[in-house]
Amino acid sequence: MQGWKRRVVYVTLYEGIAVVLTGAVLFVLGHGAMHSLVASVGASLLAVTWNLIFNALFEAWERRQTVKGRSIKRRIAHAIGFEGGLVLSIVPFFAWWLQVSLWQAFVMDLGFILFFLVYTFVFAWCFDKVFGLPASAMPAPAKPQGPPASVCSVGQS
């Protein structure tokens, strides 16, 4: 599975799980069930937008790399880049929706950041195992080297 179909399936699965987990944690932290659900859906919409942008940029960068595949180092860079960018939109949203300061929202989000760093890493790895690597991470096909010498010399005197 490649291209936009891959991205849509990835984002749908990733965010579906994330909405349930985020809503449950906010509820446990004392926010009302409906308030927690709206906050988790809002955060998910921000994350979906960022996910599509970030993964398109990451795969464009990945296509230009000479070393193909998804090493642990590349997966860690992917998880940190995604979560780091997401913080820039989630923290202000949580501060506004939950009516807390930016600092309080950031501190609250630290737990989510740590969890989602691991979640992003594991989810992406499992997704790649189930659906295969994206084209950007696959090695280029080997170029044919021409026919063997014996084939070229057949019929020649």
Angle at 35 between CA 30 and CA 39, to 5 degrees: 105
What does the pLDDT read at residue 22? 79
What is the average pLDDT value for the chain, to the nearest integer?
81
- Higher-pLDDT residue of 7, 137: 7
Q: How far is CA 101 from CA 21, 47, 91, 105, 117, in A?
A: 23, 21, 9, 6, 23
Query: What does the pLDDT look like over 129-153, one tens digit per residue?
Result: 888 877 777 666 666 665 555 555 5
Length of the chain: 157
Rounded CA-CA distance 140/138 in Å is: 6
The reported pTM is: 0.62
Query: What does the pLDDT look like over 75-125, one tens digit per residue?
Result: 888 888 888 898 888 899 989 988 889 999 898 888 878 887 788 888 988
DSSP state of 99: T
Backbone angles phi, psi at 134, to 5 degrees: -70, 160
Taking 80 as the threshold, does the pLDDT of residue 10 lie above it? yes
What does the pLDDT read at residue 103? 94
What is the share, in percent, of the chain residues with pLDDT greater than 70?
Answer: 86
Q: How far is CA 71 from CA 23, 45, 77, 104, 114, in A?
A: 32, 29, 10, 35, 21
Taking 90 as the threshold, does the pLDDT of residue 8 lie above it? no
